[in-house]
Amino acid sequence: MNTYSYNHIKTMAEKKNQDICQQTHFNEKAVKQVLKRMESSDNLLELAHFFKILGDHTRVRILNALYFSELCVCDLTVILEMNQSAISHQLRILRTAKIVKYRKEGKNVFYSLDDDHISDMLNQGMIHTKENKK
């Protein structure tokens, strides 16, 4: 092995170790308190699933549009420049996860964000994403 590759590997290994503890010692009190307060594994699995559904560009675009106004599927086809079938597919996923809700009026179906938790989350997520770009 030449000097360059040895140093390179050494630097990489050091870099990788920078963010982990160099001694194994845990804080028993903190661990106990956290374990007592943590959500069940099932609840956290559902929360992860909920975030996973939000982690899609088209679905986030739909939600961002609905953040500003209740809209019918036809409106969304114009805003997103997508066909009704593709949008309906994503809306069904969002509805099943109770992220959006709908109501019928005559021959149209109007969608809106399910509740304030959803709009708050979109808002917080957007603020965080924009702050990280600075």
Among 2, 3, 5, 24, binds a second copy (CB under 8 A): 24
In whole angstroms, how close is the CB of 8 to a second copy at the nearest point? Answer: 19
Beta carbons of 51 and 85 less than 8 angstroms apart? no
Contact flag: residue 132 with a second copy (CB under 8 A): yes
Helical residues (DSSP H) of 38-83, grouped into ranges = 41-54, 57-68, 73-80
For 47, the 3-state DSSP assignment is helix
Contact flag: residue 112 with a second copy (CB under 8 A): no
Among 7, 11, 12, 51, binds a second copy (CB under 8 A): 51
Contact flag: residue 129 with a second copy (CB under 8 A): yes
Contact flag: residue 103 with a second copy (CB under 8 A): no
Among 10, 61, 86, 112, binds a second copy (CB under 8 A): 61
Contact flag: residue 83 with a second copy (CB under 8 A): no
The DSSP bridge partners found for residue 111 are 71, 102
- Closest-CA residue to 97 (of 46, 56, 57): 46
> Quick one: CA torsion of 19, 24, 28, 33, rounded to 10 degrees?
30
Number of residues in contact with a second copy under rule CB under 8 A: 80
Among 6, 60, 93, 112, binds a second copy (CB under 8 A): 60
C-alpha distance across the termini of the chain, in Å: 42
